[in-house]
Amino acid sequence: MDTARAAGVVVGIDLGTTFSAVARMDERGHVEVIPNSEGAMLTPSVVFFDDDDNVLVGREAVKALTVEPGRGAECFKRDMGFPAYRELVDGRERRPESLSAIVLAKLKQDTEAAIGPISGAVITVPAFFDDTRRKATEDAGRIAGLNVLKVINEPTAAALWYGFEEPERLRPGEVSLVYDLGGGTFDVTLMRGLGNSEFETLVTDGNVMLGGRDWDERLLAYVAGEFEKTTGLDPTSDRAARQELLQRVEECKRTLSKLTTAKVAVSCGDQRLWVPVTRECFEGLTADLLARTKATVELLVEEAGLGWRDIARVILVGGSSHMPMVQKMLERLSGRAPEARGQIELAVARGAAVYAAALMGLVGVSDDTRRRVPTDFHETNSHSLGVEIDGEDGRPRNSVIIPRNTPIPCQETQEFRTASRSGPDSRIPIVILEGEAADPEACVRVGTCEVSGLPSGLPSGSVVRVTFAYSGDGRITVEAEVPAVSRRVRAEIARSAALTESRLQQETSAVSDLVIL
């Protein structure tokens, strides 16, 4: 433990769509979740800008949104990778990175008040996040003043936690399916145990726009419709009233995970009404959402070339996996009850803390000799990496270089040829894409890689070899060389939606000036 103590406290952070959490491994080798200043393990990922230039984060921000929804923001993780949050916040356009950074700054502030300065953090992302969203998450950490050690996938973090806490879950050769349904995103991953608490990811898939919030919206529409049938009034016509009702239906959803019936109090004008909801009704309203996750699970198992008899266990992750409909569906598919031990909404933060400890050199056994800190795991890329080329019909198309679900880190080299004799300012532009579709418009445009610094006088048709790589955390890098002259040349990615370094510094300064409560 001396290595970590000398370097300072390192933590794992689950930056969630609806809730976030921080954990660390203590001096005894135990993993603990750090409560926020209100004493809660989970902090709502919600921000609100008040009249005194303060920013509320968490429960108080949730309450404030029901009064003045235009002054706050929520679910901005879904907008990661886009240049702006979908709505104006307090009259201003704001970037998702900066809103996420405010949440991270609150977590950092509360954690440091409890355990001292943080020297580094591992932040988790959905496995299905592309390079643009991963870069935005790293930027959010930097804006918050964190030293981001690594960005890792949420299912990977959960598996790290389970492998550390219960090594028998990752027996050598056994395959586990991790079903991760959070508040705003969905991932499903197949992992094979390698022994010594280590594992490899076989395949992963998901949807960054599907999560518990979609179940909430369905229930909201139903409850509002029932109220309108009786009273003739729409309780969602006012934005603040809609926000308050959304909180009530979220509570109803949680109740229905424990009981078979619940009621939602709805009001509009001078009308008040209790709207009853049964679990059966709720499951019917959201059957298609569940079916989307089911289809993803089935396709993933098929893509891995496995049958359900080959899968030893199904592990639940994410708060929305508490819903009985999820557990019943997975049991029907797999033939076995899914495992949901402990507080599954905290597994990701705990796993991130385990990995942060491993990065700091805490690789020995803890004081409980059953448990080891995993030192290695093997991921796959969640999206194909390609470049835009001209097809035979003259239309641009996506030429895949590294297919999805390739073990990472990995790299592939592609040859390009100069169109004309090179001069002092010669360069080769390459449009980099993530996605499986042949049409570039259906893929994510990561940005343009510009190969420059070519030797002057290089003949037309000269070969330039460009090596594209996925790092172990799913980030893209590019290198280039000219074989004819044995020379490496510059290859830099200008990411389409990413913050420039100067803008990053501006956002960092702006967040550091805020009073965060």
How far apart (Å, rounded) are the C-alpha atoms in residues 391 and 410? 26
- Residue 239 falls within a domain, yes or no? yes
Q: Which of 352, 378, 404 is at the close of a domain?
A: 378
**What pLDDT does residue 373 have?**
61
Contacts of 270 (CB under 8 A, 6+ apart): none
Stretch (H or E) spanning 297: helix 287-303
How far apart (Å, rounded) are the C-alpha atoms in residues 186 and 293? 8
Q: Which of 378, 403, 433 is at the close of a domain?
A: 378
Average pLDDT over residues 287-305: 97
- Dihedral angle at the C-alpha atoms of 306, 308, 312, 313, nearest 10 degrees? 120
Same domain assignment for residues 123 and 27:
yes
Same domain assignment for residues 271 and 230:
yes
Q: Which two tokens stand for residue 300?
A: 């993933």
**Whole-prediction pTM:** 0.92
Contacts of 361 (CB under 8 A, 6+ apart): 3, 4
CATH number at residue 47: 3.30.420.40
Which DSSP state fits 370? T
Contacts of 358 (CB under 8 A, 6+ apart): 373, 374, 375
CATH number at residue 270: 3.90.640.10
Q: Is the dihedral of CA 357, 363, 366, 372 positive or negative?
A: positive
The answer to whether residue 3 scores a pLDDT higher than 50 is no
CATH number at residue 471: 2.60.34.10
Contacts of 281 (CB under 8 A, 6+ apart): 222
**What pLDDT does residue 423 have?**
66
Query: For residue 476, what are the β-bridge partners?
Result: 470
How far apart (Å, rounded) are the C-alpha atoms in residues 133 and 121? 18
How far apart (Å, rounded) are the C-alpha atoms in residues 94 and 170? 42
- Residue 64 falls within a domain, yes or no? yes
Give 124-170 pLDDT, tens digit per residue. Answer: 999 999 999 999 999 999 999 999 999 999 999 998 888 888 777 77
**What pLDDT does residue 375 have?**
56
**What pLDDT does residue 244 have?**
94
Same domain assignment for residues 389 and 492:
yes
Confidence band of 389 (pLDDT split at 50, 70, 90): confident
**What pLDDT does residue 490 have?**
76
Q: Which two tokens stand for residue 69?
A: 């929804």
Contacts of 377 (CB under 8 A, 6+ apart): 156, 159, 160, 198, 199, 200, 201
Same domain assignment for residues 352 and 217:
no
Percentage of the chain modeled with pLDDT above 70: 94
- Residue 192 falls within a domain, yes or no? no
- Residue 156 falls within a domain, yes or no? yes
Same domain assignment for residues 33 and 162:
yes
Q: Which of helix, strand or coil describes residue 284?
A: helix
Same domain assignment for residues 433 and 456:
yes
Percentage of the chain modeled with pLDDT above 90: 72
The answer to whether residue 492 scores a pLDDT higher than 50 is yes
Same domain assignment for residues 30 and 139:
yes
The answer to whether residue 365 scores a pLDDT higher than 60 is no
Q: Which of helix, strand or coil describes residue 51?
A: coil
Give 78-125 pLDDT, tens digit per residue. Answer: 999 999 999 999 999 999 999 999 999 999 999 999 999 999 999 999
User: Among 51, 105, 115, which Cα is nearest to 516's?
Assistant: 105
Confidence band of 455 (pLDDT split at 50, 70, 90): confident
Please give the tally of structural domains in the chain.
3
- Residue 74 falls within a domain, yes or no? yes
Convert 401-429 into a string of H (helix), E (strand) and C (coil).
EECCCCEECEEEEEEEECCCCCCCCCEEE
Q: Residue 34 in contact with residue 114, Cβ under 8 Å?
A: yes
Same domain assignment for residues 361 and 420:
no
**What pLDDT does residue 424 have?**
64
Same domain assignment for residues 398 and 273:
no
How far apart (Å, rounded) are the C-alpha atoms in residues 131 and 442? 16
Which DSSP state fits 498? P
Q: Which of 285, 310, 333 is at the close of a domain?
A: 285
Same domain assignment for residues 134 and 231:
no
Residue 110 belongs to domain spanning: 1-166+341-378
Confidence band of 480 (pLDDT split at 50, 70, 90): confident
- Residue 79 falls within a domain, yes or no? yes
Confidence band of 341 (pLDDT split at 50, 70, 90): confident
Q: Which two tokens stand for residue 180?
A: 């991760």
- Residue 178 falls within a domain, yes or no? no
How far apart (Å, rounded) are the C-alpha atoms in residues 206 and 310? 21
Radius of gyration (Cα) for the chain, nearest Å? 24
- Residue 206 falls within a domain, yes or no? no
Same domain assignment for residues 25 and 145:
yes
- Whole-number average pLDDT of the chain: 90
Q: Is the dihedral of CA 33, 39, 41, 46 positive or negative?
A: negative
Same domain assignment for residues 15 and 64:
yes
Among 42-51, 91-100, 269-278, 368-377, the minimum mean pLDDT is found in 368-377
